[in-house]
């Protein structure tokens, strides 16, 4: 298994997915070796609760222009070189997670003469609303297309993503499998702080701070909501390139006294904050899946999400969340107010969210479906 992102180096959705999936697979009959980038806080080769994690030192020459694609492609050489140190160990499947490990995944599958399975966690076309601006987005799309074409099977998390991949990359639908992301509900439900009845209601969101995450929409909604009720607080946690613009938006909306941007929160810090939250909002303009929604549900927070992409598919029609039109700050303010004013509705949403998680999104269920793909592809190639 190859992943550009893996704890403790990153705490994004891909890192969490790869970590949860690898460990769930390892509790069964699968032997997992995970190849990723070196992190100063981690060993080069170590057993991580049954998963062998092998890390490569990614030292690259200077590349003019600072192209992220060029740097990433160059770093894949280090991943392949690191794989060569595994000695006589051979996999039955190479499983690549997203385009940054495309080159290493392709080389290693051919080197070992085994099938390549790829999980695409999003597409560049989808991130740009169905369009491909010239330059880096178009280049990344080309890498995604090439990786999907080279893969014997492609896994993705939602029906929306299946349509994007089958249509955008002209793949045989039989090669594309929908397997949702998973979560460990027990960890997120662990005992922790509860909402303080004397404190203002806390509205929480988090994630990588990029424009498409829609945090600026929440800032506008908070500006509207505070005119109706002054007893609110909001936390927008995370890091990303859009953070300076988001801070400016918060200042322009006049809500810097009630909106806090604390940056990155560790998982324990995030879990405690979810437990204290009156509601969690996911205001994404584009979201291929939205693992943050699962984390919110597992943490017991009432959920409000944008009616878009994987989010709508994840919770739409389940009664576990309220939906609003993407980008519509006024409607989002209405949904927050509705939830804050109706404790019975909030309690019912918590119950339905817990039922949804236990039935569909545990890591054991996700690992079983992924293992079936491995069996299918190795049987077909054999």
Domain count within the chain: 2
Residues 87 and 217 in one domain: no
Q: Do residues 75 and 37 touch, judged by C-beta distance below 8 A?
A: yes
Q: Mean pLDDT over all residues of the chain?
A: 90
Residues 355 and 238 in one domain: yes
Distance separating alpha carbons of residues 21 and 268, to the nearest angstrom = 20
Residues in the chain: 382
Residues 46 and 90 in one domain: yes
| Sheet containing 279-282: order of strands | 259-263, 233-237, 202-206, 279-282, 303-306, 321-324
Exposed/middle/buried for residue 170 (C-beta within 10 Å: 0-12, 13-18, 19+):
exposed
Residues 237 and 118 in one domain: no
The yes-or-no verdict on residue 214 having pLDDT over 70 is yes
Residues 195 and 90 in one domain: no
Read off the pLDDT of residues 226-284 as tens digits, 9 standing for 90 and up.
998 888 999 999 999 999 999 999 999 999 999 999 999 988 999 999 999 999 999 99
Residues 367 and 354 in one domain: no
Q: What is the pTM of this model?
A: 0.76
Host domain of residue 51: 2-182+362-381
Question: Which of 279, 293, 294 is closest to 337 using CA atoms?
Answer: 279
HSE (side-chain half, CA atoms, 13 Å) at 246: 28
Distance separating alpha carbons of residues 3 and 38, to the nearest angstrom = 11
Residues 196 and 243 in one domain: yes
Read off the pLDDT of residues 306-334 as tens digits, 9 standing for 90 and up.
998 778 888 888 899 999 999 999 999 99
Residues 143 and 16 in one domain: yes
Exposed/middle/buried for residue 88 (C-beta within 10 Å: 0-12, 13-18, 19+):
exposed
| Residue in the block written with tokens 């192209």 | 67
Residues 219 and 285 in one domain: yes
- Which structure tokens are listed for 59? 């030292």
Residues 168 and 194 in one domain: no
Residues 315 and 373 in one domain: no
Residues 372 and 287 in one domain: no
CATH number at residue 243: 3.40.50.2000
């Amino acid at each position: 298994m190859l992943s550009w992102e893996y704890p403790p180096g990153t705490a994004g959705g891909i890192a969490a997915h790869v970590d949860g999936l690898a460990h769930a697979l390892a509790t069964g009959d699968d032997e997992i070796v995970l190849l990723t980038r070196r992190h100063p806080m981690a060993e080069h080769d170590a057993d991580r609760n049954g998963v062998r994690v092998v890390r490569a030192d990614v030292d690259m020459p200077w590349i003019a222009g600072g192209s992220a694609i060029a740097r990433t492609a160059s770093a894949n050489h280090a991943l392949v070189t690191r794989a060569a140190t595994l000695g006589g160990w051979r996999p039955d499947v190479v499983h690549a997670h997203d385009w940054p490990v495309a080159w290493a995944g392709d080389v290693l599958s051919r080197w070992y003469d085994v099938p390549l399975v790829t999980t695409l966690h999003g597409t560049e076309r989808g991130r740009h609303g169905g369009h491909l601006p010239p330059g880096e987005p178009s280049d990344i799309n080309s890498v995604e297309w090439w990786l999907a074409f080279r893969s014997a099977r492609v896994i993705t998390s939602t029906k929306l993503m299946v349509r994007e991949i089958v249509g955008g990359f002209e793949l045989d639908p039989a090669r594309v499998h929908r397997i949702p992301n998973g979560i460990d509900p027990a960890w997120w439900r662990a005992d922790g702080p509860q909402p303080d009845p004397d404190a203002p209601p806390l509205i929480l969101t988090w994630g990588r701070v990029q424009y498409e995450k829609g945090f600026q929409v929440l800032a506008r909604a908070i500006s509207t909501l505070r005119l109706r009720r002054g007893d609110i607080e909001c936390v927008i946690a995370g890091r990303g390139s859009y953070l300076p613009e988001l801070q400016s938006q918060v200042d322009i909306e006049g809500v810097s006294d009630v909106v806090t941007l604390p940056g990155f929160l560790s998982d324990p810090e995030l879990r405690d904050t979810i437990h204290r939250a009156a509601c969690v909002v996911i205001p994404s303009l584009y979201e291929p899946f939205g693992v943050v929604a699962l984390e919110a549900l597992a943490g017991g927070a009432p959920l409000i999400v944008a009616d878009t992409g994987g989010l709508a598919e994840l919770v739409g029609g389940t009664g576990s969340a309220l939906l609003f039109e993407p980008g519509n700050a006024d409607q989002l303010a209405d949904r927050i107010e509705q939830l804050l004013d109706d404790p019975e509705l909030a309690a019912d949403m918590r119950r339905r969210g817990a039922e949804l998680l236990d039935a569909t999104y545990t890591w054991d269920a996700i690992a079983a479906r992924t293992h079936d793909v491995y069996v299918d592809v190795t049987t077909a190639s054999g």
